[in-house]
């Protein structure tokens, strides 16, 4: 599909990948089948974001609350994540910078080592920044940031009165990155679900009535087109 120049170039997009379980249930399949199909869509949309020259895309892959799901489902998601980590080295060739958001200490040591290695190997890349939020929660991210700042104050490195928006942004997982221009949620739901609460303060919200495993490049086009019709005033007139 042809687009006008600059159709999506430079955008920062957050995506809540939702609806895998419902997709599988509708087809009489185990929930893990929905996650497998969702992972395929995830990989294709990453490639498409590269083609569109999107500046940054953040995928909500696994939340801190998702641990409460049935163990079979959690194990299936973690297995898919392990497979993704092996394939993620390909993003080095595509000039992506890969960043993992969230508390990785709850993940297997092997995964943590791979995540650290992938981040280091792609650190200097200048293409689309690919953020993958795993064991991530927006409130937890803010609490972690406050703890970092409190320690700096305690150590005499920072005065409380010097803490401002930029200081707080600097201790988020996304430090130095552009805040999302819009948050996309497929599946027909209309909530953030603890995703990027600090960063999304002025993000547009685009919801779509399509389950993530059915999501296509054309759906992303429609979401970007919807965003491009919005008037962003950031509290002004």
Question: Annotated active-site positions, please?
Answer: 18, 66
170 is in an annotated binding site: no
The strand ranges marked E within the chain are 12-16, 56-63, 97-101, 129-136, 182-185, 204-207
Strand partners, 56: 12, 129
156 is in an annotated binding site: no
The CA dihedral of 146, 151, 157, 161, to the nearest 10 degrees, is 40
Q: What six digits make up the tokens of 162?
A: 């010097």
162 is in an annotated binding site: no
> Vertex 108, ends 116 and 73: CA angle to 5°?
120
63 is in an annotated binding site: yes
The backbone torsions φ and ψ at residue 181, rounded to the nearest 5 degrees and listed phi first, read -75, -40
31 is in an annotated binding site: yes
64 is in an annotated binding site: yes
47 is in an annotated binding site: no
69 is in an annotated binding site: yes
The CA-to-CA distance between both ends of the chain, in Å, stands at: 35
198 is in an annotated binding site: no
Bind-site residues for substrate:
19-23, 31, 35, 63-65, 67, 69, 185, 191-193
Bind-site residues for Mg(2+):
18, 204
Bind-site residues:
18-23, 31, 35, 63-65, 67, 69, 185, 191-193, 204
């Amino acid at each position: 599909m042809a687009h006008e120049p600059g159709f999506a170039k430079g955008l920062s997009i957050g995506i809540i990948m939702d609806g895998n379980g419902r997709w599988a249930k509708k087809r009489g399949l185990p929930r893990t089948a929905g996650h497998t199909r969702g992972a395929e869509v995830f990989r294709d949309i990453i490639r498409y974001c590269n083609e569109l020259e999107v500046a940054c895309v953040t995928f909500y892959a696994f939340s801190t609350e998702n641990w409460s799901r049935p163990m079979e489902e959690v194990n299936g998601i973690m297995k898919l994540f392990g497979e993704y980590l092996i394939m993620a080295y390909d993003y080095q060739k595509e000039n992506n910078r890969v960043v993992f958001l969230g508390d990785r200490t709850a993940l297997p040591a092997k995964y943590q080592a791979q995540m650290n290695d992938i981040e280091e190997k792609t650190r200097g890349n200048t293409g689309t920044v690919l953020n993958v939020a795993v064991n991530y929660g927006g409130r937890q991210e803010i609490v972690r940031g406050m703890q970092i700042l409190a320690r700096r104050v305690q150590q005499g490195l920072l005065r409380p009165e010097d803490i401002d928006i930029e200081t707080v942004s600097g201790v988020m997982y996304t430090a130095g990155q552009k805040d999302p221009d819009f948050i996309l949620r497929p599946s027909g739901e209309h909530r953030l679900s603890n995703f990027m609460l600090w960063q999304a303060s002025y993000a547009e919200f685009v919801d779509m009535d399509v389950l993530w495993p059915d999501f296509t490049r054309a759906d992303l086009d429609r979401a970007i087109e919807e965003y491009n019709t919005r008037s962003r005033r950031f509290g002004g007139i």
